[in-house]
A and B are shown apart, each in its own frame.
Chain A
Amino acid sequence: AAGVIQSPRHLIKEKRETATLKCYPIPRHDTVYWYQQGPGQDPQFLISFYEKMQSDKGSIPDRFSAQQFSDYHSELNMSSLELGDSALYFCASSFRGRGTEAFFGQGTRLTVV
């Protein structure tokens, strides 16, 4: 069965650079979530989209933005990267209309040097 696909799996950027993370949800899922997990930390909710509209917002820095496209894939854009942005970034998708479980991708490991 198709799962949530995230790309790239690993990314190394320098401070003040920009990074774009991509997420391809499970087909027919209508909701996408983004999370940030620092070393030894629990996953922090960043933002979610339902039917391509922003649904909820968590602790997402102003330097970050995200959107969901017409094909339901989503991108997380991070600008002016800081060392503290080094983390695992997860995307998850679900079919909210049916109240089903959310499935996570394998994550993108971002390292800012």
Chain B
Amino acid sequence: SQQGEEDPQALSIQEGENATMNCSYKTSINNLQWYRQNSGRGLVHLILIRSNEREKHSGRLRVTLDTSKKSSSLLITASRAADTASYFCTGGSEKLVFGKGTKLTVNP
């Protein structure tokens, strides 16, 4: 399975702080993707990192990938209340199986 497992399952921080979420996966992947989902809404693609990349930035997002440990991390810097959402990772391209996600709450 290429399922991503996110850690922690819930995270509560204050606005302006950084939030770090981790993801582990089981099999070899070509790329790993992070998604955000606001309650009851669709999943929004945040960033894709390929297996030959170690780090990628996009705005306030920083993603790292360690293929030897089969893990990835998503860092959101200078968090905002609008970042409150569930965050999921998934690897591969055939199934895109999602784990339980990290529920991030950013308190104003």
Contacts and interface: CB of A to CB of B under 8 A. Distances in A.
Which label, helix, strand, loop or mixed, suits the secondary structure of the B interface? loop
B95 interface: yes
Interface residues of B, number: 22
A16 interface: no
Interface of A: 31, 33, 35, 42-43, 45, 48, 50, 55-56, 58, 88, 90, 92, 94, 96, 99-107, 109
A58 B95 CA distance: 8
Interface of B: 30-31, 33, 35, 40-45, 48, 50, 88, 93-101
Given A99-B93, A101-B48, A102-B33, A42 B98 contact: yes
Which label, helix, strand, loop or mixed, suits the secondary structure of the A interface? strand
Contact of B96 (A42, A88, A102, A106): A102
